[in-house]
Structure 1
Amino acid sequence: MDTEGTLAPETPDEAREEYDELVPAAKVAVREAAKAMEFDREEYGERVTREVIETVRDALFASLLRVHVGTSEEFEEWLDSHPEYESDVAGSENVERVVWHPVPFAGEGGVAVAATFHEEREAALGTLRRRAFGRVYREHVSTGDDGENGTVEDGGDGTDADGLEDEREGDDEQSGTDDREA
Protein backbone atom coordinates (compact mmCIF):
# COMPACT_ATOMS: atom_id res chain seq x y z
CA MET A 1 0.00 0.00 0.00
CA ASP A 2 1.20 3.50 -0.74
CA THR A 3 -0.15 6.98 -0.14
CA GLU A 4 -0.01 10.15 -2.20
CA GLY A 5 -1.39 13.65 -1.79
CA THR A 6 -1.25 16.10 1.09
CA LEU A 7 -4.77 17.12 2.12
CA ALA A 8 -6.54 15.04 4.74
CA PRO A 9 -8.81 17.44 6.67
CA GLU A 10 -9.99 16.11 10.01
CA THR A 11 -12.94 18.51 10.38
CA PRO A 12 -15.23 20.58 8.15
CA ASP A 13 -13.52 23.75 9.45
CA GLU A 14 -10.11 22.39 8.49
CA ALA A 15 -11.45 21.51 5.02
CA ARG A 16 -12.79 25.07 4.61
CA GLU A 17 -9.46 26.55 5.71
CA GLU A 18 -7.52 24.39 3.24
CA TYR A 19 -9.99 25.26 0.49
CA ASP A 20 -9.79 28.99 1.22
CA GLU A 21 -6.00 28.90 1.06
CA LEU A 22 -6.22 27.78 -2.58
CA VAL A 23 -7.75 31.04 -3.86
CA PRO A 24 -4.39 32.64 -4.77
CA ALA A 25 -3.16 29.45 -6.48
CA ALA A 26 -6.41 29.16 -8.46
CA LYS A 27 -6.15 32.79 -9.55
CA VAL A 28 -2.55 32.33 -10.69
CA ALA A 29 -3.43 29.15 -12.60
CA VAL A 30 -6.31 30.89 -14.38
CA ARG A 31 -4.22 33.99 -15.10
CA GLU A 32 -1.40 31.91 -16.58
CA ALA A 33 -3.80 29.85 -18.69
CA ALA A 34 -5.43 33.04 -19.97
CA LYS A 35 -1.99 34.46 -20.74
CA ALA A 36 -1.04 31.30 -22.66
CA MET A 37 -4.28 31.59 -24.65
CA GLU A 38 -3.43 35.25 -25.33
CA PHE A 39 -6.66 36.67 -23.91
CA ASP A 40 -6.87 40.44 -24.24
CA ARG A 41 -8.49 42.56 -21.52
CA GLU A 42 -11.97 42.28 -23.03
CA GLU A 43 -11.86 38.52 -23.56
CA TYR A 44 -10.40 38.01 -20.09
CA GLY A 45 -13.21 40.07 -18.58
CA GLU A 46 -15.86 38.13 -20.49
CA ARG A 47 -14.52 34.61 -20.01
CA VAL A 48 -12.73 34.59 -16.66
CA THR A 49 -15.59 34.56 -14.22
CA ARG A 50 -15.90 33.74 -10.55
CA GLU A 51 -17.16 30.31 -11.59
CA VAL A 52 -14.02 29.64 -13.64
CA ILE A 53 -11.76 30.43 -10.70
CA GLU A 54 -13.94 28.42 -8.30
CA THR A 55 -13.81 25.45 -10.67
CA VAL A 56 -10.02 25.61 -10.71
CA ARG A 57 -10.01 25.86 -6.92
CA ASP A 58 -12.28 22.81 -6.67
CA ALA A 59 -9.97 20.86 -8.98
CA LEU A 60 -6.86 21.93 -7.04
CA PHE A 61 -8.41 20.90 -3.73
CA ALA A 62 -9.49 17.51 -5.08
CA SER A 63 -6.12 16.88 -6.73
CA LEU A 64 -4.31 17.43 -3.43
CA LEU A 65 -6.39 14.98 -1.36
CA ARG A 66 -4.36 12.28 0.39
CA VAL A 67 -5.21 8.93 -1.18
CA HIS A 68 -4.25 5.38 -0.25
CA VAL A 69 -3.55 2.94 -3.07
CA GLY A 70 -3.54 -0.78 -2.45
CA THR A 71 -5.01 -4.17 -3.07
CA SER A 72 -8.57 -5.12 -2.24
CA GLU A 73 -7.20 -7.08 0.70
CA GLU A 74 -5.31 -4.04 2.01
CA PHE A 75 -8.46 -1.95 1.73
CA GLU A 76 -10.46 -4.58 3.63
CA GLU A 77 -7.74 -4.69 6.32
CA TRP A 78 -7.85 -0.90 6.58
CA LEU A 79 -11.64 -1.01 6.98
CA ASP A 80 -11.33 -3.75 9.61
CA SER A 81 -8.89 -1.60 11.58
CA HIS A 82 -11.21 1.44 11.24
CA PRO A 83 -14.64 -0.08 12.00
CA GLU A 84 -16.20 3.35 12.59
CA TYR A 85 -15.84 4.16 8.85
CA GLU A 86 -18.52 3.24 6.36
CA SER A 87 -17.33 2.26 2.90
CA ASP A 88 -18.49 4.11 -0.25
CA VAL A 89 -16.97 2.18 -3.17
CA ALA A 90 -17.42 2.84 -6.89
CA GLY A 91 -16.43 0.19 -9.40
CA SER A 92 -16.34 -3.55 -9.67
CA GLU A 93 -15.82 -5.92 -6.78
CA ASN A 94 -13.96 -8.24 -9.15
CA VAL A 95 -10.76 -6.21 -9.49
CA GLU A 96 -7.67 -6.40 -7.33
CA ARG A 97 -6.80 -2.76 -6.67
CA VAL A 98 -8.48 0.03 -4.73
CA VAL A 99 -7.84 3.72 -4.10
CA TRP A 100 -9.48 5.31 -1.08
CA HIS A 101 -9.70 8.55 0.85
CA PRO A 102 -10.97 8.51 4.44
CA VAL A 103 -13.09 11.47 5.57
CA PRO A 104 -13.41 11.31 9.37
CA PHE A 105 -16.19 13.89 9.67
CA ALA A 106 -18.52 12.42 7.02
CA GLY A 107 -21.40 10.13 7.85
CA GLU A 108 -21.89 8.71 11.34
CA GLY A 109 -18.25 7.92 12.11
CA GLY A 110 -16.40 8.64 8.90
CA VAL A 111 -16.60 7.55 5.29
CA ALA A 112 -13.92 5.88 3.19
CA VAL A 113 -14.66 7.03 -0.35
CA ALA A 114 -13.11 4.46 -2.69
CA ALA A 115 -12.80 3.39 -6.31
CA THR A 116 -11.62 0.08 -7.70
CA PHE A 117 -9.34 -0.29 -10.71
CA HIS A 118 -7.49 -2.89 -12.71
CA GLU A 119 -4.66 -1.09 -14.54
CA GLU A 120 -5.48 2.61 -14.86
CA ARG A 121 -4.14 3.95 -11.56
CA GLU A 122 -4.15 7.63 -12.59
CA ALA A 123 -7.72 7.42 -13.87
CA ALA A 124 -8.81 5.78 -10.61
CA LEU A 125 -7.06 8.50 -8.58
CA GLY A 126 -8.84 11.21 -10.57
CA THR A 127 -12.19 9.48 -10.25
CA LEU A 128 -11.77 8.99 -6.52
CA ARG A 129 -10.72 12.58 -5.88
CA ARG A 130 -13.65 13.98 -7.88
CA ARG A 131 -16.06 11.64 -6.06
CA ALA A 132 -14.68 12.59 -2.65
CA PHE A 133 -14.99 16.28 -3.47
CA GLY A 134 -18.48 15.96 -4.91
CA ARG A 135 -19.90 13.56 -2.33
CA VAL A 136 -18.34 15.00 0.83
CA TYR A 137 -16.32 18.18 0.60
CA ARG A 138 -18.41 20.39 -1.71
CA GLU A 139 -21.15 20.91 0.88
CA HIS A 140 -18.58 21.90 3.51
CA VAL A 141 -16.39 24.23 1.44
CA SER A 142 -18.80 25.78 -1.05
CA THR A 143 -18.81 29.56 -0.91
CA GLY A 144 -22.33 29.94 -2.25
CA ASP A 145 -23.54 33.27 -3.55
CA ASP A 146 -22.61 35.21 -0.44
CA GLY A 147 -18.89 34.48 -0.88
CA GLU A 148 -18.38 33.77 2.80
CA ASN A 149 -15.54 31.27 2.62
CA GLY A 150 -13.13 33.50 0.70
CA THR A 151 -14.41 35.24 -2.37
CA VAL A 152 -12.76 35.13 -5.72
CA GLU A 153 -13.08 38.87 -6.16
CA ASP A 154 -11.15 39.35 -2.93
CA GLY A 155 -9.05 36.26 -2.46
CA GLY A 156 -7.53 37.57 0.73
CA ASP A 157 -4.48 38.82 -1.15
CA GLY A 158 -5.80 42.26 -2.10
CA THR A 159 -6.32 41.46 -5.79
CA ASP A 160 -9.43 41.13 -7.87
CA ALA A 161 -10.22 40.15 -11.43
CA ASP A 162 -9.12 43.55 -12.72
CA GLY A 163 -5.91 43.33 -10.71
CA LEU A 164 -5.10 40.07 -12.44
CA GLU A 165 -5.70 41.66 -15.82
CA ASP A 166 -3.57 44.71 -14.98
CA GLU A 167 -0.76 42.46 -13.80
CA ARG A 168 -0.67 40.62 -17.13
CA GLU A 169 -0.73 43.84 -19.10
CA GLY A 170 2.09 45.23 -16.98
CA ASP A 171 4.27 42.20 -17.72
CA ASP A 172 3.96 42.69 -21.46
CA GLU A 173 4.19 46.47 -21.63
CA GLN A 174 6.88 47.18 -19.07
CA SER A 175 9.39 44.48 -19.89
CA GLY A 176 8.68 44.14 -23.59
CA THR A 177 9.07 40.38 -23.19
CA ASP A 178 6.90 37.48 -22.30
CA ASP A 179 7.83 36.24 -18.82
CA ARG A 180 7.21 32.64 -19.95
CA GLU A 181 10.53 32.80 -21.83
CA ALA A 182 12.51 33.49 -18.67
Structure 2
Amino acid sequence: METRGQFAPETERAAREQYAALAGPAKTVTKEIAEAGTTDRDAYRALTNEDVYETAQQALFASLLAVQVGSTEEYEDWLAAREDLEVVFAGTETVPRRAWHPVWPRAAVVAVSFQDKPDAAVASLRRQAFGRFYRDLVVE
Protein backbone atom coordinates (compact mmCIF):
# COMPACT_ATOMS: atom_id res chain seq x y z
CA MET A 1 0.00 0.00 0.00
CA GLU A 2 1.23 3.49 -0.76
CA THR A 3 0.09 7.03 -0.02
CA ARG A 4 0.00 9.67 -2.75
CA GLY A 5 -0.56 13.27 -1.79
CA GLN A 6 0.00 15.44 1.20
CA PHE A 7 -3.08 15.92 3.31
CA ALA A 8 -6.28 14.43 4.63
CA PRO A 9 -7.73 17.18 6.81
CA GLU A 10 -9.12 15.84 10.06
CA THR A 11 -11.47 18.74 10.78
CA GLU A 12 -13.53 21.27 8.87
CA ARG A 13 -11.26 24.00 10.19
CA ALA A 14 -8.13 22.20 8.95
CA ALA A 15 -9.70 21.76 5.51
CA ARG A 16 -10.61 25.46 5.33
CA GLU A 17 -7.14 26.51 6.48
CA GLN A 18 -5.41 24.28 3.94
CA TYR A 19 -7.69 25.55 1.20
CA ALA A 20 -7.09 29.18 2.20
CA ALA A 21 -3.33 28.63 2.22
CA LEU A 22 -3.51 27.72 -1.48
CA ALA A 23 -5.05 31.04 -2.58
CA GLY A 24 -1.71 32.76 -3.11
CA PRO A 25 -0.02 29.88 -4.93
CA ALA A 26 -3.09 29.43 -7.16
CA LYS A 27 -3.02 33.11 -8.11
CA THR A 28 0.71 33.06 -8.79
CA VAL A 29 0.56 29.94 -10.95
CA THR A 30 -2.44 31.28 -12.87
CA LYS A 31 -0.71 34.59 -13.60
CA GLU A 32 2.51 32.89 -14.70
CA ILE A 33 0.63 30.56 -17.05
CA ALA A 34 -1.38 33.44 -18.48
CA GLU A 35 1.77 35.48 -19.00
CA ALA A 36 3.61 32.60 -20.67
CA GLY A 37 0.67 31.61 -22.84
CA THR A 38 -0.64 34.93 -24.09
CA THR A 39 0.71 38.05 -25.71
CA ASP A 40 -2.62 39.84 -25.83
CA ARG A 41 -3.66 42.04 -22.89
CA ASP A 42 -7.35 41.06 -23.17
CA ALA A 43 -6.49 37.36 -23.23
CA TYR A 44 -4.28 37.83 -20.16
CA ARG A 45 -7.12 39.57 -18.31
CA ALA A 46 -9.54 36.82 -19.26
CA LEU A 47 -7.21 34.26 -17.69
CA THR A 48 -6.48 36.27 -14.56
CA ASN A 49 -9.74 36.90 -12.79
CA GLU A 50 -11.22 35.72 -9.50
CA ASP A 51 -13.15 32.83 -11.08
CA VAL A 52 -9.98 31.45 -12.69
CA TYR A 53 -7.99 31.92 -9.47
CA GLU A 54 -10.67 30.05 -7.52
CA THR A 55 -10.72 27.21 -10.03
CA ALA A 56 -6.93 26.91 -9.72
CA GLN A 57 -7.20 26.93 -5.92
CA GLN A 58 -9.79 24.14 -6.02
CA ALA A 59 -7.65 22.08 -8.40
CA LEU A 60 -4.57 22.52 -6.22
CA PHE A 61 -6.46 21.50 -3.09
CA ALA A 62 -7.88 18.39 -4.75
CA SER A 63 -4.51 17.47 -6.27
CA LEU A 64 -2.86 17.48 -2.84
CA LEU A 65 -5.36 15.19 -1.10
CA ALA A 66 -3.71 12.10 0.36
CA VAL A 67 -4.91 8.96 -1.38
CA GLN A 68 -4.16 5.41 -0.31
CA VAL A 69 -3.47 3.00 -3.18
CA GLY A 70 -3.49 -0.73 -2.60
CA SER A 71 -5.15 -4.06 -3.07
CA THR A 72 -8.78 -4.79 -2.38
CA GLU A 73 -7.69 -6.71 0.71
CA GLU A 74 -5.66 -3.77 2.04
CA TYR A 75 -8.62 -1.47 1.50
CA GLU A 76 -11.04 -3.85 3.20
CA ASP A 77 -8.67 -4.28 6.16
CA TRP A 78 -8.34 -0.51 6.46
CA LEU A 79 -12.10 -0.06 6.24
CA ALA A 80 -12.87 -2.81 8.77
CA ALA A 81 -11.23 -0.73 11.48
CA ARG A 82 -13.39 2.27 10.55
CA GLU A 83 -16.94 0.96 10.38
CA ASP A 84 -18.40 4.37 11.27
CA LEU A 85 -17.44 5.89 7.90
CA GLU A 86 -19.95 6.35 5.09
CA VAL A 87 -18.54 4.58 2.04
CA VAL A 88 -18.84 6.18 -1.38
CA PHE A 89 -17.54 3.60 -3.86
CA ALA A 90 -17.21 3.89 -7.62
CA GLY A 91 -16.21 0.98 -9.79
CA THR A 92 -16.59 -2.76 -9.86
CA GLU A 93 -16.20 -4.94 -6.78
CA THR A 94 -14.34 -7.66 -8.68
CA VAL A 95 -11.53 -5.37 -9.86
CA PRO A 96 -8.43 -6.14 -7.75
CA ARG A 97 -7.06 -2.72 -6.74
CA ARG A 98 -8.43 0.25 -4.80
CA ALA A 99 -7.67 3.91 -4.23
CA TRP A 100 -9.33 5.67 -1.30
CA HIS A 101 -9.38 8.93 0.62
CA PRO A 102 -10.92 9.41 4.06
CA VAL A 103 -12.93 12.61 4.33
CA TRP A 104 -12.66 12.89 8.10
CA PRO A 105 -14.75 16.08 8.52
CA ARG A 106 -17.69 14.26 6.87
CA ALA A 107 -17.09 10.81 8.41
CA ALA A 108 -16.79 9.33 4.93
CA VAL A 109 -14.39 7.51 2.66
CA VAL A 110 -14.36 7.87 -1.11
CA ALA A 111 -13.02 4.82 -2.94
CA VAL A 112 -12.59 3.66 -6.52
CA SER A 113 -11.56 0.36 -8.05
CA PHE A 114 -9.00 0.08 -10.81
CA GLN A 115 -7.12 -2.56 -12.73
CA ASP A 116 -3.80 -1.11 -13.86
CA LYS A 117 -3.94 2.69 -14.08
CA PRO A 118 -3.37 4.03 -10.56
CA ASP A 119 -2.66 7.60 -11.72
CA ALA A 120 -6.05 7.83 -13.41
CA ALA A 121 -7.78 6.26 -10.40
CA VAL A 122 -6.13 8.72 -8.00
CA ALA A 123 -7.03 11.72 -10.18
CA SER A 124 -10.63 10.56 -10.49
CA LEU A 125 -10.90 9.91 -6.77
CA ARG A 126 -9.58 13.37 -5.90
CA ARG A 127 -12.13 15.04 -8.19
CA GLN A 128 -14.92 12.98 -6.64
CA ALA A 129 -13.83 13.72 -3.07
CA PHE A 130 -13.55 17.44 -3.75
CA GLY A 131 -16.81 17.73 -5.65
CA ARG A 132 -18.86 15.62 -3.31
CA PHE A 133 -17.47 16.56 0.10
CA TYR A 134 -14.95 19.40 0.18
CA ARG A 135 -16.36 22.01 -2.21
CA ASP A 136 -19.28 22.99 0.01
CA LEU A 137 -16.96 22.91 3.00
CA VAL A 138 -14.17 25.17 1.75
CA VAL A 139 -15.59 27.38 -1.02
CA GLU A 140 -17.34 30.44 0.33
TM-score, reference length from structure 2? 0.95
Number of the residue aligned with 1:40: 40
Q: Report the Cα distance in structure 2 between the residues aligned to 1:19 and 1:105, rounded to whole angstroms.
A: 14
Number of the residue aligned with 2:111: 114
Q: Report the Cα distance in structure 1 between the residues aligned to 2:17 and 2:39, rounded to whole angstroms.
A: 31
Is the helix fraction higher in 1 or 2?
2
Number of the residue aligned with 2:134: 137
Q: Report the Cα distance in structure 2 between the residues aligned to 1:86 and 1:133, rounded to whole angstroms.
A: 16
Deviations 1:111-138 (A, max 9, x none): 1101110011110000000000001000
Taking the TM superposition and a 5 Å limit, the aligned residue runs for 1:148-159 are: none
Does structure 1 retain, via aligned residues, the 8 Å contact 2:30–2:47?
Answer: no
What secondary structure sits across from 2:24 in the alignment? helix
TM-score, reference length from structure 1? 0.74
Taking the TM superposition and a 5 Å limit, the aligned residue runs for 1:164-179 are: none
RMSD of aligned residue pairs (Cα, Å): 1.1
Q: Report the Cα distance in structure 2 between the residues aligned to 1:18 and 1:105, rounded to whole angstroms.
A: 13
1:126 pairs, out of 118, 123, 126, with 123
Q: Report the Cα distance in structure 1 between the residues aligned to 2:65 and 2:51, rounded to whole angstroms.
A: 21
1:38 CA drift (Å):
2.5
Q: Report the Cα distance in structure 2 between the residues aligned to 1:2 and 1:142, rounded to whole angstroms.
A: 29
Which structure exhibits the higher relative contact order, with contacts defined as CA atoms closer than 8 Å and separated by 6 or more residues? 2
1:28 aligns with 2:28: yes
Deviations 1:2-36 (A, max 9, x none): 11211111111110110000011101111111111
Number of the residue aligned with 1:13: 13
Is the strand fraction higher in 1 or 2?
2
Q: Report the Cα distance in structure 1 between the residues aligned to 2:78 and 2:126, rounded to whole angstroms.
A: 19
What secondary structure sits across from 2:105 in the alignment? coil
1:42 CA drift (Å):
2.8
Q: Report the Cα distance in structure 2 between the residues aligned to 1:103 and 1:39, rounded to whole angstroms.
A: 42
1:43 CA drift (Å):
2.3
**Which blocks of at least 5 consecutive residues in structure 1 are unaligned?**
144-182
Q: Which has the larger radius of gyration?
A: 1
Runs of 4+ with >4 A deviation: none
What secondary structure sits across from 1:7 in the alignment? coil
Deviations 1:46-97 (A, max 9, x none): 3422111111111100000011001111111111011111211111111000
1:90 aligns with 2:90: yes
